[in-house]
Chains A and B, each alone.
Chain A
Amino acid sequence: MRRLVEELRAALPAAFERDDYRARRDVIDQQFRTRNEQPFGDLQRRAEQKGIAMLRTPTGLALAPRRDGKVLTPDMFEALPEAERERIQHDLEEVQGELEAVMERVPQWEREHREAVRELNRETTGAAIVLMMNELRKGYRDLPDVTQYLDAVERDIKENADDFLPSAPPRGGTPMPPAFEEAVAEGRFRRYQVNVIINNSGQRGAPVVYEDNPTHQTLVGRVEHIARFGTLVTDFNLLTPGALHRANGGYLVLDAQRLLTGYFGWASLKRALNAGEIRLESLEQLLSLASTVSLQPEPIPLDVKVVLLGPPLVYYLLSALDDDFKELFKIAADFDDRLERTPETTLLYARFIAGVVRREKLHPFDRSAVARAIEQASRVAGDAERLSTGLRELVDLLQEADQIAIGAGKQIVTAAEVQGAIDAQFRRGDRVYRRLQEEIGRGTIRIETDGEEIGQVNGLSVITLGGLTFGNPSRITARVRLGRGEVVDIEREVELGGPLHSKGVLILSGFLGGRFGKTRPLSLNASLVFEQSYSGVEGDSASTAELFALLSALADAPINQSFAVTGSVDQHGRIQAIGGVNEKIEGFFDVCRVTGFTGRQSVVIPASNVSHLMLRADVVAAASEDRFRIFPIETVDQGLSLLTGLPAGEPDAEGNYPAGALNQRIAARLDLFATKAAELARSGAGMEPRK
């Protein structure tokens, strides 16, 4: 098209300069001039016969009485006889009427003249461009849209041939600078340019486009503007494509969260997919915020597969809250964040690590480094039998290990560098963790790791800050007294306990009632608390520890403080798995390091968490040297015996426990409370019966 315009800028002026054009134009002008002049000439002659001159006034024509070749002045007119004056006025009136009639026809004659000239110009232009246009059409014969466009171009050129001719110099005034003239000329021909918004000619296969910033404009494109003489103007050459244009016929990959937070990205994407076309319009137009005239490009048919990437929560939310989502996105690909750890997947993982090393141009990783990275993947998964599919974290780890190796002047990355990277990642975020450990060591936060206490046990919780999760031991204490069978969760009372924690406490109450309340009223009041806890407590992973503290208080049996406990419990006294078991064990291990290892310190965990153990190397080493122990348990009684060193005792057929067993001591205490409560009730000094 650019070449066509260049050729036309030379060819059309030549065509309009040729003699045949000028001759035809002269004929037309002459015909119209004659046609126009004849009525005026006739009128002029008739006027002159009556002594009337036709004068050109600044804005029209006037008819003036004349005597002796001179127009009459008012004085001369007044000097005429009355009859003569009347005759002159009568004649003037008559001729003026004729002049008006002629003048009324002038616009029509001019329209006819302009149309005749236009038709001549069309013919001249058509003859000049026909070969060029046919030549151009040849290349696009099998593209009807393009040939249609070229037909429209041809018509437009014929209608606007003047644009290709040299412009007449301005009459008077300062001529325009050449640069300005050129800019104006360029502006005239912009409409013949072709704005190729997408060119996939060099591409093999369907386009696959990832849009990093999916907003309305980046998806559907935008109409840009340029400043010209203080105003913003645009034309189709300033249309720029969006990701949907680039991906049309292929695949568009978008981050779902960015799409939802991007400015009108989600709405515009849905609109385009629902309509099956890309409508390039500005946000102002879309929202009817602007009433300025702008371009409204023809919609472009859309055939694209859109892949949204995001966390499952986004999928669930969109499924639940957006009806269009289910219509538009029918196929879900739910990628697990973990995969089973088998020899095959371990090998695949190792290959992936090798691939990352090659792609990122890292130093070679030896087998120990690969093994350590895979172990860390299990650790991140929180399961010895699983591997994390959080590959971004893995890549970060490999890159950092590589940097450590470079810093150490090593050519090969080993397990030491991977461990160094793991430690460094932990170290960068462990300020709070270290502060807690420090305060425990100084005794500000009281954690017993030796000795015995009645109604007190070390519970374990996890804290997540930033990207770091660490274990945090807490002292859980219980006190019992005569009462109405209530277990008071102090955390809940002060609104520091979350619903799951409260549920755990209610479950242990259920256990207590189920085991000991069948034959006696539970006339006790118990209170449970996380000592030195000043923030919220959530989850049920401390319910086992709380139950142990309560039973210890009821049995008046001391608990060995060398133990820390984690796990949830059901109403039947079965211990259930919890999350973050590794961090909890390591948290207590680190506390023991601060307070001093005794060789007796241990952590009691649910047996169902054993497969999740992926402990730090130092914890594993201490365990293997029997300096630190981990006891998996399945029932409350197992744990109670472990913590108190006393047998729990099994009930006989009548539900009685053997003498000296912990459960017998608890039952006896509860009996005592019941008897005392009954006495108080009889004496009238008891508490009001519960309503």
Chain B
Amino acid sequence: MTQSIKRVVVSLDAVSETGPAIDTAARLAARWRVPLHGLFIEDEELIGFAGLPFARQVTLATGREPLTRDHIEDHFRAFAERLRRELAAAAARHGVEWSFEVTRGTLTAATDGREHDFVVAGAMTRPVGDHFRIASRSWSLVATLTRPFLLARRAWEAGGSVLALLRHHGPQSERTLDIAAQIASLCKTTLTVAHHPDIADADEFAAWVSGFVEQHSLRLRTESATMEPAALRQRIIELDCRLLVLEGGRERAQLEELRELIEPLACDILIVR
């Protein structure tokens, strides 16, 4: 399944928390023995806004100040260079081939590149001060991206288990389960596979899962998933879940609901399409 992944692309920009994304992407590229590609996106929407005569920004350091295109572009260049160095260092640490590209455009258009890409992006914007973050625009990719897409926020060393939510055991589920198992194996952690409560034969599902992941050295648990948001949230906390793996094809509304559920938790999310 993961043989189809030919490249791990890490989506970078000047406003996201990119450290966990770069590290996770480099580890996965090493695991799958594929190149790591850094894609720095100069957000043209922000550049456009900076062109307005009344564009201002408010910072903790200086309060309100004019925002110009030059100002924004200077920052883009500085961030791109910094992230290029961080990517190079991560690639060197994990022994993977790497490349780096700077592009200008919208997030979706820039990221949804090749067919066999696996895309990783930061799940959060950098905080203003120590805590306040506004919603990351990377979430918008969850609904639109046609590639497997991982939103990373948790440091790899922080540990935690992998929880995969499957709806059935078709090809899409197999691909999702395979990637979830590979990541759980890479993290040396437990993989919990939760099936949709509507699945007719839970035992059969468990046997299928068990047979499917037996090639991976990991601890496996199967259970019936709860669809009620608060209960799911509680379960994620109980499992100290580092990664929630979902099959693609969900409705935008469902994903928005999921976002509200996941955002307060230090949990990565992977959508497999």
CA distance A61 to B67 in the complex (A): 10
Given A113-B130, A172-B22, A173-B86: A59 and B57 within 8 A (CB)? yes
Please report which residues of chain A, range 41-58, place their CB below 8 angstroms from some CB of chain B when the two chains form the complex.
Answer: 44, 54-58
Stretch of A29-37, A274-282, A412-420 with 4 or more beta carbons under 8 angstroms from chain B = A29-37
Most buried by B among A33, A64, A110, A114: A64
**Is A36 a contact partner of B132 (Cβ separation < 8 A)?**
yes
Kindly provide the distance from the CB of A57 to the nearest chain B CB, expressed in whole angstroms: 5
**Is B58 a contact partner of A62 (Cβ separation < 8 A)?**
yes
**Is B129 a contact partner of A58 (Cβ separation < 8 A)?**
no
User: A157-177, CB under 8 A of B: which get 1 and which 0?
Assistant: 000000000001101111100
Please report which residues of chain A, range 68-108, place their CB below 8 angstroms from some CB of chain B when the two chains form the complex.
Answer: 70-74, 77, 89, 92, 96, 99-100, 103-104, 106-107
**Is B134 a contact partner of A96 (Cβ separation < 8 A)?**
no
**Is B131 a contact partner of A56 (Cβ separation < 8 A)?**
no
Kindly provide the distance from the CB of B121 to the nearest chain A CB, expressed in whole angstroms: 14
**Is A33 a contact partner of B89 (Cβ separation < 8 A)?**
no
Kindly provide the distance from the CB of A143 to the nearest chain B CB, expressed in whole angstroms: 43
Give every chain A residue within 8 A of B57 (Cβ-Cβ).
57, 59-62
**Is A60 a contact partner of B58 (Cβ separation < 8 A)?**
yes
**Is B63 a contact partner of A100 (Cβ separation < 8 A)?**
yes
Most buried by B among A33, A36, A171: A171
Kindly provide the distance from the CB of A83 to the nearest chain B CB, expressed in whole angstroms: 16
* Interface status of B238 (Cβ within 8 A of chain A): no
Kindly provide the distance from the CB of A615 to the nearest chain B CB, expressed in whole angstroms: 95
Give every chain B residue within 8 A of A96 (Cβ-Cβ).
56, 58, 64
Q: Which residue of A lies closest to B126 (CB)?
A: A56
Chain B interface residue number, banded: 35 or more
Interface size on A, residues (CB 8 A): 46
Give every chain A residue within 8 A of B49 (Cβ-Cβ).
55, 62, 64, 71-73
Stretch of B71-79, B183-191, B254-262 with 4 or more beta carbons under 8 angstroms from chain A = B71-79
* Interface status of B46 (Cβ within 8 A of chain A): yes
Q: Which residue of A lies closest to B53 (CB)?
A: A74
**Is B89 a contact partner of A59 (Cβ separation < 8 A)?**
no
* Interface status of B55 (Cβ within 8 A of chain A): yes
**Is B129 a contact partner of A107 (Cβ separation < 8 A)?**
yes
* Interface status of B31 (Cβ within 8 A of chain A): no
User: B115-137, CB under 8 A of A: which get 1 and which 0?
Assistant: 00000000001101111111000
* Interface status of B51 (Cβ within 8 A of chain A): yes
* Interface status of A329 (Cβ within 8 A of chain B): no
* Interface status of A40 (Cβ within 8 A of chain B): yes
Q: Which residue of A lies closest to B132 (CB)?
A: A36
CA distance A232 to B85 in the complex (A): 32
**Is B129 a contact partner of A110 (Cβ separation < 8 A)?**
yes
Give every chain B residue within 8 A of A99 (Cβ-Cβ).
58
CA distance A352 to B55 in the complex (A): 103
12 contacts between A and B (CB under 8 A): A36-B132, A37-B131, A44-B134, A57-B46, A58-B78, A62-B58, A99-B58, A107-B60, A113-B130, A172-B85, A173-B85, A174-B93
Given contacts A64-B49, A70-B45, A100-B64, 11 further A-B contacts (CB under 8 A): A55-B49, A56-B15, A57-B14, A58-B14, A89-B54, A99-B58, A113-B131, A114-B130, A169-B155, A172-B90, A173-B86
